[in-house]
């Protein structure tokens, strides 16, 4: 799914294409966590790895932060394929976010309205999604996907660094 593009992302000029590989990790849930991502620009062959850690967080927050940090690192509107092993992130962006926004960042749980979990992460991600044309590709984690495995190494190392 593509996010609703902003005027920058919907111009007639072709956008640069970037592949963003992401992963998050947490030692305990909640506990010390880390995220890692790889930005790859296939046209130029350039690649950048970034990562970070948080002393007290959850795995879902780190999965979200990996995508946020990768999108924040882009200097101009781009066409982005986010490759993630997080169904939570992919489904949240593709299926759930529009409804959450329509409902004031709330969701139905047991017949009652509840605040969306990790709302500050989702709202930041929402701001970034409108700057780019983004689609999500879900891969199974820990199944030998080279970039996903590398992002996991980056995320685990970042989590260990803040432990």
Per-position DSSP letters for 53-75, written without gaps between them: EEEEE-HHHHHHHHHHHHHHT-S
Q: Over the stretch 123-146, which tens digit does the pLDDT of each residue have?
A: 999 999 999 999 999 999 889 999
What residues are paired with 18 via a beta bridge?
A: 80
Spatial contact of 65 and 35, defined as CB atoms under 8 Å apart: yes
H and E: helices and strands count for the chain: 5, 7
For the chain, list the domains and their CATH numbers.
17-162 (3.30.420.10)
Catalytic annotation present for 24: yes
Catalytic residue among 24, 34, 36, 52: 24
> Active-site residue 85, yes or no?
yes
- Greater pLDDT, 88 or 5: 88
Task: Give the pLDDT confidence score for residue 110 in this predicted structure.
Answer: 93
Q: Is 63 a catalytic residue?
A: yes
Task: List, for residues 63-93, the tens digit of each pLDDT value.
Answer: 999 999 999 999 999 999 999 999 999 999 9
Task: Considering the candidates 28, 47, 127, 142, report the single residue annotated as catalytic.
Answer: 142
Whole-angstrom distance between the N-terminal and C-terminal Cα of the chain? 36
Tokens of 97: 């976010």
Among the listed residues 36, 63, 132, 147, the single catalytic one is: 63
Instruction: Give the pTM.
Output: 0.91
Which residues have a Cβ under 8 Å from the Cβ of 86 and sit 6 or more positions away? 22, 23, 24, 60, 63, 138
Of 34, 85, 92, 147, the catalytic one is 85
pLDDT per position as a tens digit, 11-51: 567 899 999 999 999 999 999 999 999 999 999 999 999 99
Mean pLDDT of 141-161: 96
- 6 pLDDT more than 70: no
- Residue 126 annotated to the active site: no
- Residue 79 has a pLDDT of 97
Q: Supply the mean pLDDT for the chain.
A: 93
Asked if 8 is an active-site residue, the reply is no
So what's the pLDDT on residue 142?
85
């Amino acid at each position: 799914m593509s996010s609703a593009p902003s005027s920058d992302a919907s111009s007639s000029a072709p956008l640069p294409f970037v592949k963003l590989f992401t992963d998050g990790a947490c030692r305990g849930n909640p506990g010390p966590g880390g995220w890692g991502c790889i930005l790859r620009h296939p046209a130029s062959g350039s690649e950048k790895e970034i990562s970070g850690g948080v002393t007290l967080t959850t795995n879902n927050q780190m999965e979200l932060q990996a995508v946020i940090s990768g999108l924040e690192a882009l200097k101009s509107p781009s066409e982005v394929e986010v490759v993630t092993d997080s169904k939570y992130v992919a489904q949240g962006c593709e299926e759930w976010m529009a409804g959450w926004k329509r409902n004031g960042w709330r969701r139905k749980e047991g017949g009652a309205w509840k605040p969306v979990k990790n709302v500050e992460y989702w709202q930041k991600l929402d701001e970034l999604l409108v700057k780019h044309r983004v689609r999500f590709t879900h891969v199974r984690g820990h199944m030998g996907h080279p970039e996903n495995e590398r992002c996991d190494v980056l995320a685990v190392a970042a989590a260990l660094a803040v432990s």
